[in-house]
Amino acid sequence: MLIRARSAVGSKLAVSRGWHTAQAACGWVFLVCASQLAACAHFQPQPLSAGAGVEGFESRSLETPGLRAFLAANHLAAPSPGAAWSLKALTLTAFYYQPALAEARARLLAAQAARISAGERPNPSISIAPAYDAGVPGAVHPWIVPLSFEWPIETAGKRGYRLAAARHLAAAARWDLVGTAWQVRSRLRAALLDLYAAHRSESLLDREESTRRSVLRLLEGQLRAGSVSSYEVAQARIALDRATLARQAAAARLRQARIALAAALGVPLRALDGARFSFADLQAFPLALTRPQVRQRALLDRADVRAALERYAASQSALQLQIARQWPDISLGPGFAWNPQLAGDREWELGLSLPLPVRNHNQGPIAEARARRALAAAHFLTVQADAIAGIDSALAAYDSGRAQLVTADSLLRNLGRQLRSVEAQVAAGELQPLDLADARLADEAGAQSRLDALVRAQQALGQLEDSMQSPLTLPHVCTRTGVDPCEPLSLPR
């Protein structure tokens, strides 16, 4: 659609006035463009060096002021020198140092920046196309100066649908950040449990090795007295060697557990030198857990379930956007032209343009958006089904682990009574020192069995917490992200 109006003034004064008008218009256009360019963002380089990254990593420690400020920001006092680090303090330390959280936070910032892009309106445009024509006889001036302006207008609420999709994707990225925080906490808890198991196992195996060495000395004395055979002494030596091998393997596991804990924290191994750790959080077991209760909480609080719901909502908005794109956008194009060839002839026009939906009605993008919505729905159902299956499996393992721990506790108590009885009989001269050594070995074996049962039960509890993405040893009203959700989590910037 094009509307034009024309007026002509046949005097050189009008020509001169028209020429100056065109020059002024061009000057204003130049000033507006220059002011807009001055307000643009400028590139600022941020070099990234592998060498500097290594140096930064090696400088990390548990005593840096930044870490202590971060702990204080999350309402937790940093442990004093020589004090033990709890699971909560170590979790916050991992949140401070782990690069996986920084990456997830960067993805969240990118998703939030996409909301700005989604809300932007299309810019208007201006065009100037000066022309020179000296071929017309008697021309007053050879220049022709047309000036046109285009103002695009979106229709059918497209901007609103873009904004809605971007908001849902940003919310999904936020839940991804929560899920990453939980994964960091889960990895740290598993590493701390491995460290506890390796430390206790080494201690128990060291005691067993010492006891078996005593047994060997007693048997060697009896061999010299002719009371036992050399076969029994050889068997004792073999048992001692096996105990030594087991202790050495436990010492190796302890070193590997320290390495794994440092990796889970995101610090170099030397940062753990001299640090003490509290394992009290690995002794607690929630008693009343039922499948409906746990399943309901998991399906409401799991970060991946929430993220899948947000992505489905984003796919809904994306489908609405593609449906709205069946309606064409409008472009208004007013313009002005000055032609001194015709003695200062000035023309203005109002243009209206829009695409004609005669060859397609955006069927392809609509079909793709519908398919992506179906995919998002299927993904949500998959995440939900995996969560339910994981919860049922973890609950079964947790129930079994707790039952084995109860039995192991009972066995260890009975072995302790037996050891005390044997000690009394040896003191009374009714039994031999070798009988006492055998009782001690049995008690140490019972302690190792109890440790194994405790570790299995705690591993099952960790799996159950992973399936719920909620620490079960905290109050029910305080389960959200895996630190202490009763308090806000301040992630490092």
In the prediction, which pLDDT does 399 show?
A: 87
Per the model's pLDDT, the better-predicted residue between 192 and 331 turns out to be 192
Q: Looking at per-residue confidence, does 251 or 283 come out higher?
A: 251
Locus of tokens 């260890």:
412
Residue 28 reports pLDDT greater than 50: yes
C-alpha distances (whole Å) from 378 to each of 104, 164, 168, 372 are: 24, 21, 18, 10
| Selected residue with higher pLDDT from 312 and 2 | 312
- pLDDT tops 80 at residue 488: no
CB neighbours of 338 closer than 8 A, spacing ≥ 6?
A: 18, 19, 21, 22, 144, 145, 146, 344, 345, 346, 347
Tens digit of pLDDT for each residue in 392-424?
Answer: 888 888 889 989 999 999 999 999 999 999 999
| % pLDDT > 70, the chain | 81
* Average pLDDT along the chain: 82
Q: Is there a contact between 210 and 441 (Cβ–Cβ < 8 Å)?
A: no
How many angstroms separate the CA atoms of 222 and 228, rounded? 6
Please determine, for residue 493, whether its predicted confidence score (pLDDT) is greater than 50: no
**pLDDT value, residue 440:** 92
pLDDT-wise least confident of 220-234, 256-270, 276-290, 412-426 = 276-290
Please report, for residues 70, 172, 222, 486, the alpha-carbon distance to residue 214 in angstroms, rounded to integers and kept in the order given.
Answer: 52, 63, 12, 53
Beta pairing partners, 153: 330
Measure the CA–CA gap between 416 and 447, rounded to whole angstroms: 10
Nearest-CA neighbor of 337 among 19, 1, 12, 13?
A: 19
Top-confidence residue, 52 or 30: 52
Query: Residue 479: what pLDDT?
Result: 34
Let me know if 283 is exposed, middle or buried by CB neighbors in 10 A (0-12, 13-18, 19+): exposed
Strand ranges inside 170-275, DSSP E: none
- C-alpha torsion 13→15→17→19, nearest 10: -150
Quick one: average pLDDT of 73-78?
88
pLDDT number for residue 58: 85
d(CA 72, CA 3): 69
Reply yes or no on whether the pLDDT at 43 is more than 90: no
pLDDT at 24: 54
**In this predicted structure, what is the pLDDT of residue 39?**
59
* Structural contact between residues 142 and 134, judged by C-beta atoms closer than 8 angstroms: yes
Cα distances (angstroms) measured from residue 438 to each of 201, 219, 239, 283, 421: 19, 12, 12, 29, 13
Q: Give the residues across from 352 on adjacent strands.
A: 332
What does the pLDDT read at residue 473? 53
Phi, psi of 79, rounded to the nearest 5 degrees: -60, 140
Is residue 343 predicted with pLDDT exceeding 80?
no
21-25, 116-120, 347-351, 443-447: least confidently modelled range: 21-25
